[in-house]
Amino acid sequence: MTLLLVVVGLVTIVVAVSVVARRLGALAPILLVVVGLALSFVVAGPELRLDPEIILIGVLPPLLYVAAVETSVPAFRHNLRPILLLAVGLVLFTTACVGYAVHLLLPQVPLAAAFALGAVVAPPDAVAATAVARRIGLPRRIVAILEGESLINDATALVLFRVAVAAATGHLLTPLGVAGDALIASLGGVVIGGIGAVTLAWIHRRVTHPLIDNSVSLLAPWLVYVPAEQVHASGVVAVVVTGLYLGHRYPTLMSSASRLQMEAFWRMVKFLLEGIVFLLVGLQLRFIVHDLDTPLGTIVKATVVVLAVVVLTRFIWLYPATYLTRLIPRIRERDPAPPMQYPTVISWAGMRGVVTLAAALALPPTLAGGAPYPRDLFVWLAFSVIVGTLVLQGMTLPVMVRWLRIPHDDPKKDALAEASVQQAAVRAARERLEEEVSRDGQVPEAVIERLHTVLADRANMAWERLGGRRRETPSEAYSRLRRAMIDAERAVFRQARDEGRIPEEVLRRAQRDMDLEESLLYREDR
């Protein structure tokens, strides 16, 4: 009963804070962390300590999976070079810089343990960054790079973390052995993810019931993550490979009913999981402060140094990675150098998240030979980096974007491309209609005219988006009036149900048909 009340309480707070964030125009993850920080000392209730296994096994796989499913594979492939430079190169660079900085500041801490802390704070969590990017209209390529980075950087950081912890706890490691383990983990994740993707695609093609289809989708991240981790491969890579493959092919793998239901389901899962984990991050403050057993001067000095190194290394890495690579003629011709604003805003979008805290909580209590080390300080530093980057960078990112005057994607260019493709789609649909009519030969003329009208409306709607917004377009007028008509129809059906003239089942069937029609109507905010 206590667990149920805790879950209900967390979900209630997430929903309430998200509503407030939308009204204030604030970013929900940042506000949830702030609320969690406040509640950590106010609320007297059960101890909500984060278990790293719950995060790394229970929360990370579904969040990675839904992010991979929603990622554009062509955009991911097109931006693979900057994504890998961030997700692999920058994580390695940040781990090394933080490790050496901590070792110089605290010479008594072994370098391997300092590298473990570096791996903990190295991977950014792009949930908040991409949320800001989409809301303020950053260029599509910046969003694609941030999303792609977030899919892979956790795998790099967790492999580095395991290697550093193994070295710190006395396991004999060689550079060749470390490289081999990393290669096996990555390739193993790709292989298991590929096998899982093909198998799940085969299942999706043969399952026609939407509930069963979406149940398979719910299980998918764990069906590849757990086997990969069992054989010491990268579960993160396995989930990403599976998600990218299935997301790219869902239009041909699943029925329309399954896709509609899956999209709504995963949106809710993503909303709740992200909200709860950011809230839980804030709620850890009381326990982390309680466990601190390090002099205050050392805490302040280490916090400032680590946070500064984490922020600055992203800038130091990104400018050379962006412009020095263009010295290679083939890269420069294929991908000209972007304006300076692009690497600047990507550098400032390095907010850390719950994976950083989960990895910090998984740090061993002692080092090789039972030697103590300031584990409590390391957990505090990871927590400080999360809160510091979320609050400092997350709240100022929109201001920086406005200050840099980053150009937005041209909506008219998108509308023109959509209209052109829609015109080709209409032609293909007309040809298919003629084939079906000639094969059948008994289709009423009224049905054919109605189908041609639907095609014409669809084509006109796409071209209307290219026009000015001074007055209401025909499609908008139709949608506004049709929604009013549907509201009147709903009222009649509800009254008939209340008066006993139709059973509840009839109302629900009619309501579903009207809801589906209304969801298809043109909306300006699409």
Neighbours of 232 (CB within 10 A): 12
Model confidence pLDDT, tens digit, residues 426-484: 888 888 888 888 887 778 888 888 888 888 877 777 676 666 555 777 777 888 888 89
What are the boundaries of each domain within the chain? 2-49+62-173+270-407, 410-470, 474-526
The SS3 of residue 293 is coil
Q: Which listed CATH number (1.20.1530.20, 3.40.50.970, 3.10.180.10, 1.10.150.20) goes with 2-49+62-173+270-407?
A: 1.20.1530.20
* Residue keyed to tokens 């869902």: 250
Going from the C-alpha of 301 to that of each of 85, 307, 447, 488, 520, the distances in angstroms are: 30, 10, 76, 66, 57
pLDDT tens, position by position, 144-169:
898 889 888 988 998 889 888 888 88
The one-letter code for the residue type at 496 is A
Question: Which pair of structure tokens corresponds to residue 348?
Answer: 């400032």
| 333 alpha-carbon distance from chain centroid | 31
* Residue 67 CB neighbours (<10 A): 22
Helix residue ranges, H only, 48-174: 52-53, 60-70, 73-78, 80-84, 91-105, 111-121, 126-136, 140-168
Rg (CA), the chain: 26
Note the pLDDT tens digit of each residue in 295-308: 889 999 999 999 99
Q: Kindly report, residue by residue over 195-212, the tens digit of the pLDDT.
A: 999 999 999 998 888 889
DSSP 87: I
How far is Cα 38 from Cα 55, in angstroms, rounded to an integer?
Answer: 22
CA 233 to chain centre: 22
DSSP 197-258: HHHHHHHHHH---HHHHHHHHHHHHHHHHHHHHHTTS-HHHHHHHHHHHHHHHHHHHS-HHH
In one-letter notation, the amino acid at residue 224 is: V
What is the 8-class DSSP label of residue 514? H
Take residue 319 and report the two structure tokens written for it. 């400018």
Position 129 scores a pLDDT of: 65
SS (H, E, C) 26-79: CCHHHHHHHHHHHHHHHCCCCCCCCCHHHHHHHHHHHHHHHHHHHCCHHHHHHC
Both structure tokens of 10: 């967390």
| pLDDT string in tens for the chain (526-residue length) | 577 888 888 899 999 999 998 888 777 888 888 898 888 877 655 677 788 888 889 888 998 899 899 888 898 999 999 999 999 999 999 999 999 999 999 998 889 899 999 999 999 886 666 666 667 778 888 888 988 898 889 889 988 898 888 888 877 666 677 777 788 888 999 999 999 999 999 999 988 888 898 899 999 999 999 999 999 889 999 999 999 999 988 888 888 888 888 888 898 998 998 889 889 888 888 888 888 888 889 999 999 999 999 999 999 999 999 999 888 888 888 888 888 989 999 999 888 888 888 889 888 888 876 777 888 999 999 999 999 998 888 888 888 888 888 877 777 777 777 778 878 888 888 888 888 888 877 788 888 888 888 888 777 776 766 665 557 777 778 888 888 999 999 999 989 988 888 888 888 888 888 888 887 775 544 4
Token pair listed for 224: 């590849």
The residue behind tokens 């899982």 is 196
Integer angstrom CA distances of residue 436 from 70, 81, 430, 431, 440: 34, 46, 10, 9, 6
CB 90 within 8 A of CB 59: no
Look over the chain and give the mean of its residue pLDDT values, rounded to a whole number.
86
Q: Which structure tokens are listed for 503?
A: 């059973």
**φ, ψ (nearest 5 deg) of residue 141:** -70, -40
Nearest to 150 by CA among 95, 224, 71: 71
Distance CA 157, CA 325 (A): 24
> Dihedral, CA atoms, 25, 29, 31, 37, nearest 10 degrees?
180
Q: How far is CA 414 from CA 24, 140, 462, 466, in A?
A: 30, 11, 10, 9
